[in-house]
Amino acid sequence: MVLGCVLERFPLQNPRPTPTLTRTPEGAVFTGESVALKCEIKAYDGWTYQWEKQNSGGWTVLSQSEYYTVNTGTITIREDSLAVGKYKCRGERQGRPDSSNYSDVLQLTVNSLPTPALTVEPEGDVFRGESVSLKCEIKGYSGWTYQWEKSKGSGWTAVSQSEYYTVNTDTLTIREDYVSNGDQYRCRGQKTDRSLSSHYSEPVTLSVKSLPTPSLTAEPKGDVFRGQSVTLKCEIKGYNGWRYQWEKKVKDGEWRVYQSGYYAVYRDTRIITEYYTKDGDQYRCRGQRADRSLQSLYSEPVTVKAPPTPSLTVEPEGDVFSGDSVTLKCEIKDLLEWTYYWQKKNKLSSWSNLYQSWPYTDTLTIRSVTDRDQYRCRGWNSDRSLWSQDSETFTLTVKALPTPALTVEPEGDVFRGESVSLKCEIKGYSGWTYQWEKIKRSGWTAVSQSEYYTVNTDSFTIREDYVSNRDQYRCRGQKTGRSLSSRYSEPVTLSVKEKSKPELTSSRKGPAVRGQPVVLFCELGQSARWTFYWSKHTHNPENEISTETHSYTISSVSDSDGGQYWCRAGRGNPLYFTHYSDALWVNVTATSQGISLVVSPNRTQHFSTDSLSLRCEGERDSTGWRVRRYTHSEKVSDCSSVTGSTCNISSLSTSHTGVYWCESESGAGSEPLNITVHNGAVILESHVHPVTEGDSLTLRCLYRDPKPSVLTADFYKDGSLLQTQTTAEMTIHTVSQSDEGLYHCNNSQKGESPKSWVSVRGASFSVLGVLSSVMAVIPYILVSIVLGVKCYRARVKPADEDEEVENNRTE
């Protein structure tokens, strides 16, 4: 009762409230942000608020200014005046209580703007064909979203969700085909609840590399051979985090991964035992990333090869003769170390080992060779426990010792004063040197280089003053590089005769008619390898004319050709000469018989088996004239009967090639004509007689049946192409001396004709012209015809020789 009265008389004062002090934004505050503080007393209305900040001298009241904005229960601290410190507030009003307590002190902390950490997944190297994920993260703070940029040119461009990029919160994924080496990216954070951006991250530069190719090596090193155990190693050098997959080729274009006791998958080595290798097996590997779905390229494959095959060679090379020793060499050309084993085939056709004393070398020497013995070899490599394959079988072919052929130069008789060369030759074999022997009373004695003998490889020359009749010599071969001699040759016996003297004759029995040809003949009895020398008026070697045959032709005799002639023959080196012949007088007369040789068909060249008619015709009666010829037999002979002036040959052969003319009983003669008989498919039709300057000349290419489908022919003079004519005919409309020469034609289907000399005759002849004509005709008539015919006879078949005998019969 008493307490109630007291409270009624003196009522209690209301307690002072304590404001709540909060800030916006909550959490971390960053440099550059403005902050709003809110002071609130929830129990009573009508309050105004007072703000204070602690400084060095105590607490200071804050009021509206350029730095602070005061509005009812909030105060905003502008960003450029933001300062770290302690803040508090209290309320004031009219009424009781008229002031509140101070709020709790609020400590304001300001943080620097954060820098995101930008990481790349996968870490380290990125390989072409991989996608890349970038992660942006501001660690220690939450409530951030992220923006992405890519360096482009001189600046940065924003990157957002597209077909190339996937943006997911703090991650940017770049599609695999848009990942490029050297591309740069960066990011920054954006506060989700207010307008605030972080610093940019450090940019990252993508390092994109081509997929690596593993190196596949074998241990033991080198080639992998069938029959050996081998360890294969797969390695991607310079990168970590790989495991390996192994494959074996099962057929073209198809490989298969094996997992078994013999093949280990996902390891860097693989062991293949000798029982599981065969020729042609191929293995390869590739890397697989353990941390992501990525495979390397395939390595180059390793191929299992057949063991090497030794090469087996023989020394000496070439022919093996009775009495020879032979060394066989077995060789495997690679980097491995081999020992060698030899086998010989026995009489039972099985192979037997040939045991040599250690070491087992690569050579086998057979000291007594036997024909048809067979040998082979093979190698053994102890490091790999590997046998090579067997070498090719070598079969010994043993030949009988050869007998040299011994020839003498000059052939036939040797004349006193000539040197003699002997030639020793083992035909069909090479690598021989030669030994020489001469028979004496005590037997055969070796002959060597001296003042009397010159030895030069396979030839042996006896000085001219040491050549004696009936001397005998022989030779034998000595194999170069080994101790082996051939048999002795058959001995040769020298036949030495006194120096010979040729006989000089003429084709004219009487005086030579001016303008007609004269042929001089130097008869020696044999003509092997002789050159003939002709002189006039005196024996002066400086003025001699030489010919390869024993005839000399003056094609058109003039008065200056009259006089005394001699001949002699020479051969050898040094040059050996016969005696001079007796002198022969050539008398020149102006009397003309008016007789010429007519040829039908009228051309120089004729096909073999064709017919030919030659007859002597002229202004006078041709009685007493006959057709004479000079052919390959090198003798002047009649072509017709003694009294007949016509020669008919029904079937020509190449033996009829030669020089033909008409000759009277008194020795007068016509101009000689060249006749060529060809056994081929093409001949040249040209004038038989000389062409007069100013006339036209037509040459034709004639073909033996069947004729070619294309008649086009090339015409040549002295070996140079003149014209190509589709009609197989060439015409020179105005002939001059420059047109004189050797002509022939050629057809691409049928071939080439023989060559014929076309002579051009002017209106008058000087001595110089006659000499020029002689020098032009002599090489053609005597060299081209005679030597050509002799070469043909050397090649003619027996059937042709029979034909020649038959065709020599005249009708």
Query: pLDDT, tens digit, for every residue of 407-419?
Result: 988 887 888 888 8
Q: Are 218 and 224 in contact (CB under 8 A)?
A: yes
Residue whose C-alpha is closest to residue 39's, from 18, 60, 20:
20
- Residue identified by tokens 């197989």 is 728
Give the Cα separation of 552 and 562 in Å (integer). 14
Exposed e or buried b per residue across 365-403, where buried means at least 16 C-beta atoms within 10 angstroms of its C-beta:
ebeebeeeeebbbbbebeebebbbebbeebebebeebbe
- Residue identified by tokens 């509140």 is 100
In three-state secondary structure terms, 760 is: strand
Query: Given 3-state DSSP classes, what are the helix, strand and coil percentages for the chain, each rounded to the nearest 5?
Result: 10, 45, 45
Task: Give pLDDT, residue 362.
Answer: 87
In three-state secondary structure terms, 762 is: coil
Task: Give pLDDT, residue 191.
Answer: 86
pLDDT in tens, 785-797: 443 434 344 433 3
Q: Which regions of the chain are under pLDDT 50?
A: 1-11, 260-264, 592, 642, 764-811
Task: Give pLDDT, residue 721.
Answer: 93
Q: How far is CA 672 from CA 517, 558, 643, 658, 660, in A?
A: 7, 16, 19, 10, 5
Task: Give pLDDT, residue 674.
Answer: 86
Task: Give pLDDT, residue 359.
Answer: 59
In three-state secondary structure terms, 171 is: strand
